[in-house]
Amino acid sequence: MRTEFSAPAEELAEKGKEYLDARVDDVKLRLVKGLSISVGKLLGLMLFLLVVSAFLLVLSFGMILLLAEWCNLSYGWTAMIVAGVLLIASLVVFLLRDRLFRSGLVRLFVRLFFGGEDDA
């Protein structure tokens, strides 16, 4: 039952519904884009950590063999020396974690989810 008086209100309601549907679709697309970028970066980070871990493992074994040969020590003592060096390096990274990781991750997530292209 459409009258001349109610026609603009009905058209406004239809336009409003179309606008809301378009906004919901826009939010869904932005969410999918943000999630896909985040998952891609997470998988890339995991791959990077895997490669770095393998490198550190090989480097540790190499250093153990090299120190044992140079210092005429047993493999056990050189393994302890290399473990101490790795422990000190891990402690340094742990103490500097705010500057190294958190600030950068916050900027990354702000750019991903709020669409800013410049560094905040």
How much is the pLDDT for 117?
A: 54
Residue ranges per structural domain of the chain = 7-114
**Please, are residues 99 and 69 in contact by the beta-carbon 8 Å criterion?**
no
Tens of pLDDT, residue by residue over 36-72, are 888 888 898 899 999 999 999 999 999 999 999 999 9
Q: Rounded to the nearest 5 degrees, what angle is found at the Cα of 8, between the Cα atoms of 7 and 10?
A: 65
Tens of pLDDT, residue by residue over 96-111, are 887 777 777 777 777 7
Helix axes 7-71, 103-114, angle to 10 degrees: 150
How much is the pLDDT for 120?
A: 41
Identify the weakest region by mean pLDDT among 19-28, 66-75, 79-88, 109-118. Answer: 109-118
* Cα(108)–Cα(91) distance, integer angstroms: 25
**pTM score, whole prediction:** 0.59
